[in-house]
């Protein structure tokens, strides 16, 4: 692998050395990379073979520990651009000037799974952003769900141990659907609100590009005059926050475990750049005191209906990494990486995180100098007296490494004017290990969340609880969890109990504070708020030899106008001949590309070859899945029989006959007017 030249330059360039010569790490040109050094052609390998030993030794040490949580992640580069100056709110330099773009690196992740687990499992997603600002690095290390499972950092190891594979058998991988997780959850009332979010469609996003982000905790922003605002961070994707359906997520975990990362990589590679609006809900301490919950409690949201979002600017991803390990794996986020103008709150979950990230990174990245790695390096001057340590990559000069000093007039000095100053706030009280009583209402917001969802979103949530609890073998914990659900909403507990086949299994539990009926917050529903249209979506087009060239080309054109893409699927991966005798190269072959990969499907064989699809079982499966996954299906006349084979009606919601190119408008309209054919699902349940 080519490396950028290291500082220090080259000395003598040997005349008989080619520029592209393979070398050892010492720069010695390698003459033979196929054979180790042996005593005779059939003899033993010699210990003196430094080329072999160096190569194998380096290989032996290629792995570093994976992140203890959020191990499976995927990153990209981009920029942030404020829409206007936010000087009234904060003095943060990157939020002042709409003409200044700040480079960013974003890493998305699942929480529970190992680095090699599947992308589409039910889980919370990490959404971590490093802003390389002119005033130093600012990290917003958030999730795609605005609340969390626990209120105090001391519970984090228990939560993570409960969801991770059991220590004796090392399974299940990347799953919350097992006894230990639900044991912990059912014994931890504060997790209830988050469980409702995690069991909603939010737990199975369609794409990283279609995912919300949240800072979760309350933070503070301080302007140049010292005025403090409390803030909650939000990121809204331009394409809308959309999700998979559960059966589709399960299918994709096998068919394409890299579904989300592939989607992001491909979209950046073709110049289709995802974008989010970063905003804050900003409010005063006085306003916070009026809320019926505590803003320091990370299991609560501030409803948008109470404090609306204030857009700050746009976050755009526009560049894939050059090297996954060097960038995505080695990047180190930390909620304590703050810039002047942004400050922390006393949220006890946040306070524990401030310690944890640097601590874990010391082990994961092997020492205290990981901030010098290119992906972590600040893009502004860094000057201090820290020194030495594992893998020091800089060469500091001079004899002085202390401060104050009178020996080096050019040494860096503290700067009270522009330096980071914690905005003062009064703190007093006894040292106590207690949970604030203001954190005690665990059910009202969960009820508000559930009641604010659309009916199909509610049904998905109920199905998810039933699935997860159904995977638990211990009846007592199922009952306890049903009791917890009943404290939120009796109807949820009853329907889940029904689906579990244990209608009398709801345990009677006593809440610390019984759920109250809060005003609904329609903003929490994904589908009530996602923009309609086909932007960012993928149409799977199943073809055979003889596909009508005109039909094909007009679909490409119409889809492009809607910012959607068409992906051609054929019986085999070999070239297909169109009706015009032109070659069409498919992107996929049928048995390798289940319809779960696409948002909309079209079955368009030529009339003479339609029978090939009818005779090939994966074709009917393709349609059956798409129908079950609530997709719009376009179908040409000659393939109609396939609908019957797939158990789908020839007519009905979301089935669009394609007679000629004029029918594409109908297909795209139906598909663009709703993200899924929800009627089909409601008719089923």
Q: What is the footprint of ligand HDE within residues 63-92 (CB under 6 A)?
A: 67-70, 73
Is 153 one of the binding residues for ligand HDE (CB under 6 A)? Answer: yes
Give the nearer residue to ligand HDE in terms of CB position, either 79 or 214. Answer: 214
Q: What is the closest distance, in whole angstroms, from the C-beta atom of residue 584 to ligand HDE in the complex?
A: 40
Q: Cα torsion at 215, 220, 221, 224 (round to 10°)?
A: -160
Is 353 one of the binding residues for ligand HDE (CB under 6 A)? Answer: yes
Q: What is the closest distance, in whole angstroms, from the C-beta atom of residue 13 to ligand HDE in the complex?
A: 41
Q: What is the closest distance, in whole angstroms, from the C-beta atom of residue 112 to ligand HDE in the complex?
A: 12
Q: Mark whether 143 is an active-site residue.
A: yes
Q: How many residues bind ligand HDE (CB under 6 A)?
A: 25
Q: Please state whether beta strands 219-222 and 228-237 pair in parallel, antiparallel, or not at all (unpaired).
A: antiparallel
Is 324 one of the binding residues for ligand HDE (CB under 6 A)? Answer: no
Q: What is the closest distance, in whole angstroms, from the C-beta atom of residue 445 to ligand HDE in the complex?
A: 16
Q: What is the closest distance, in whole angstroms, from the C-beta atom of residue 558 to ligand HDE in the complex?
A: 38
Spatial CA neighbour of 545 closest among 525, 521, 516, 574: 574
What b/e readout covers 416-430, taking b as 16+ CB neighbours within 10 angstroms? eeeeeeeeeeeeeee
Give the nearer residue to ligand HDE in terms of CB position, either 330 or 525. Answer: 330
Q: What is the footprint of ligand HDE within residues 130-149 (CB under 6 A)?
A: 141-143, 148
Beta strands in 485-584 (DSSP E): 538-542, 565-570, 576-577, 583-584
Q: Which residues contact 584 (CB under 8 A, 6 or more apart)?
A: 543, 547, 552, 568, 570, 575, 576, 577, 578
Q: What is the footprint of ligand HDE within residues 15-74 (CB under 6 A)?
A: 67-70, 73
d(CA 192, CA 184): 11
Token reading at 434 = 């207690």
Question: What is the DSSP code string of 398-460?
Answer: SS---SS-SS-TTS----TTTS--PPP------------GGG---SHHHHHHHHTS-HHHHHH
Q: What is the closest distance, in whole angstroms, from the C-beta atom of residue 2 to ligand HDE in the complex?
A: 27
Give the nearer residue to ligand HDE in terms of CB position, either 74 or 598. Answer: 74
Give the nearer residue to ligand HDE in terms of CB position, either 91 or 109. Answer: 109
Spatial CA neighbour of 275 closest among 81, 406, 62, 417: 81
Is there a cis peptide before residue 404, judged by omega within 30 degrees of 0? Answer: yes
- Rule CB under 6 A: choose which of 173, 223, 318, 356 binds ligand HDE: 356
Which of 137, 143, 337, 369 does the annotation list as catalytic?
A: 143
Give the nearer residue to ligand HDE in terms of CB position, either 86 or 155. Answer: 155
Candidate ranges 354-362, 400-408, 434-442, 471-479; the one touching ligand HDE (CB under 6 A): 354-362
Q: What angle do CA 486, 488, 493 make, to 5 degrees?
A: 30
Q: What is the closest distance, in whole angstroms, from the C-beta atom of residue 446 to ligand HDE in the complex?
A: 17
d(CA 496, CA 274): 37
CA 364 to chain centroid: 21
Spatial CA neighbour of 475 closest among 501, 494, 493: 501
- Rule CB under 6 A: choose which of 74, 181, 293, 333 binds ligand HDE: 333
Spatial CA neighbour of 353 closest among 335, 377, 326, 340: 335
- Rule CB under 6 A: choose which of 110, 186, 191, 361 binds ligand HDE: 361
Binding mask 468-507 for ligand HDE (x = CB under 6 A): ----------------------------------------
d(CA 476, CA 102): 52
Residue 228: φ, ψ to 5°: -100, 135
Q: Mark whether 70 is an active-site residue.
A: yes
Q: What is the closest distance, in whole angstroms, from the C-beta atom of residue 351 to ligand HDE in the complex?
A: 8
Give the nearer residue to ligand HDE in terms of CB position, either 323 or 572. Answer: 323
Q: Cα torsion at 422, 425, 429, 435 (round to 10°)?
A: -80
- Rule CB under 6 A: choose which of 194, 216, 375, 658 binds ligand HDE: 216
d(CA 672, CA 85): 36
Q: What is the closest distance, in whole angstroms, from the C-beta atom of residue 425 to ligand HDE in the complex?
A: 21
Q: What is the footprint of ligand HDE within residues 99-118 (CB under 6 A)?
A: 107, 109
Residue with the two structure tokens 């520990």: 65
Candidate ranges 279-287, 350-358, 507-515, 539-547; the one touching ligand HDE (CB under 6 A): 350-358
Binding mask 245-284 for ligand HDE (x = CB under 6 A): ----------------------------------------
Residue 588: φ, ψ to 5°: -140, 160
Q: Which residues contact 601 (CB under 8 A, 6 or more apart)?
A: 539, 540, 541, 542, 595, 622, 623, 626, 631, 632, 633, 634
562-to-210, 537, 664 alpha-carbon distances in Å? 16, 9, 12
Is there a cis peptide before residue 351, judged by omega within 30 degrees of 0? Answer: no
Binding mask 602-641 for ligand HDE (x = CB under 6 A): ----------------------------------------
Which of 25, 58, 61, 70 does the annotation list as catalytic?
A: 70
Give the nearer residue to ligand HDE in terms of CB position, either 157 or 647. Answer: 157
Q: What is the closest distance, in whole angstroms, from the C-beta atom of residue 214 to ligand HDE in the complex?
A: 7
Count the helices and strands in the chain (H runs, E runs): 19, 18
Residue of closest CB approach to ligand HDE: 126
Q: What is the closest distance, in whole angstroms, from the C-beta atom of residue 586 to ligand HDE in the complex?
A: 35
Candidate ranges 243-251, 304-312, 357-365, 506-514; the one touching ligand HDE (CB under 6 A): 357-365
Binding stretches for ligand HDE (CB under 6 A): 67-70, 73, 107, 109, 126, 128, 141-143, 148, 153, 156, 216, 332-333, 349, 352-353, 356-357, 360-361
Positions annotated as catalytic residues are 70, 143
């Amino acid at each position: 692998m080519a490396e950028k030249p290291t500082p220090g330059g080259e000395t003598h360039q040997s005349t008989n050395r080619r520029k592209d010569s393979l070398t050892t790490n010492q720069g010695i040109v390698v003459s033979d990379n196929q054979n180790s050094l042996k005593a005779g052609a059939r003899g033993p390998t010699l210990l003196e073979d430094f080329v072999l030993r160096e190569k194998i030794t380096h290989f032996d040490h290629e792995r570093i520990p994976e992140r203890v949580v959020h191990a499976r992640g995927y990153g990209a580069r981009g920029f942030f651009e404020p829409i206007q100056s936010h000087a009234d709110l904060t003095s943060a330099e990157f939020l002042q000037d709409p003409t200044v773009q700040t480079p960013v690196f974003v890493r998305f992740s699942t929480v529970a799974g190992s680095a090699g687990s599947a992308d589409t499992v039910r889980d919370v997603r990490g959404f971590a952003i490093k802003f390389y600002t002119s005033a130093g690095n600012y990290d917003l290390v958030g999730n795609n769900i605005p609340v969390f499972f626990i209120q105090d950092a001391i519970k984090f190891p228990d939560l993570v141990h409960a969801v991770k594979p059991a220590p004796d058998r090392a399974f299940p991988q990347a799953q919350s659907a097992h006894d230990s997780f639900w044991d912990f959850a059912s014994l931890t009332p504060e997790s209830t609100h988050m469980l409702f979010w995690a069991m909603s469609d939010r737990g199975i996003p369609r794409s990283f590009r279609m995912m919300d982000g949240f800072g979760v905790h309350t933070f503070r922003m301080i302007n140049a005059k010292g005025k403090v605002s409390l803030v909650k961070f939000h990121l809204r994707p331009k394409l809308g926050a959309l999700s998979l359906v559960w059966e589709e997520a399960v299918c994709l975990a096998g068919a394409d475990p890299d579904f989300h990362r592939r989607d992001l990589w491909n979209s950046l590679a073709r110049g289709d750049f995802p974008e989010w609006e970063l905003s804050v809900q900003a409010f005063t301490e006085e306003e916070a005191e009026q809320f019926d919950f505590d803003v320091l409690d990370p299991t609560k949201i501030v409803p948008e209906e109470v404090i609306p979002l204030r857009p700050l600017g746009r976050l755009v991803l526009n560049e894939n990494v050059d090297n996954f390990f060097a960038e995505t794996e080695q990047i180190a986020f930390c909620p304590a990486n703050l810039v002047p103008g942004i400050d922390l709150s006393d949220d006890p979950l946040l306070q524990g995180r401030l310690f944890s990230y640097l601590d874990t990174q010391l082990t994961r990245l092997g020492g205290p100098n990981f901030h010098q790695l290119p992906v972590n390096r600040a893009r502004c001057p860094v000057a201090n007296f820290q020194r030495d340590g594992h893998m020091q990559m800089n060469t500091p000069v001079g004899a002085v490494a202390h401060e104050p000093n009178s020996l080096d007039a050019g040494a860096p000095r503290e700067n009270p004017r522009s330096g980071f100053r914690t905005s003062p706030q009064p703190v007093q009280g006894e040292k106590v290990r207690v949970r604030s009583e203001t954190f005690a209402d665990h059910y009202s917001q969960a009820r508000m969340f559930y009641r604010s969802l659309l009916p199909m979103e509610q049904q998905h949530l109920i199905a998810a609880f039933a699935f997860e609890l159904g995977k638990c073998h211990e009846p007592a914990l199922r009952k306890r969890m049903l009791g917890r659900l009943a404290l939120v909403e009796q109807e949820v507990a009853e329907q889940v109990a029904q689906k579990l086949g244990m209608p009398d299994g709801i345990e009677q539990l006593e809440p610390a504070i019984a759920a109250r009926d809060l005003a609904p917050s329609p903003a929490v529903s994904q589908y009530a708020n996602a923009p309609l249209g086909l932007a960012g979506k993928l149409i799977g087009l199943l073809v055979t030899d003889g596909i009508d060239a005109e039909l094909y080309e007009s679909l490409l054109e119409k889809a492009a106008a809607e910012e959607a893409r068409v992906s051609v699927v054929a019986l085999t991966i070999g070239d297909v001949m169109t009706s015009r005798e032109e070659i069409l190269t498919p992107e996929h072959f049928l048995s390798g590309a289940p319809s779960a990969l696409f948002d909309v499907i079209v079955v368009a064989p030529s009339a003479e070859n339609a029978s090939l699809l009818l005779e090939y079982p994966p074709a009917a499966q393709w349609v059956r899945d798409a129908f079950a996954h609530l997709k719009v299906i376009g179908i040409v006349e000659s393939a109609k029989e396939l609908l019957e084979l797939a158990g789908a009606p020839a007519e009905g919601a979301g089935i669009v006959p394609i007679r000629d190119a004029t029918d594409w408008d109908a297909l795209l309209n139906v598909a663009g007017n709703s993200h899924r054919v929800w009627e089909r699902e409601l008719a089923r349940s």
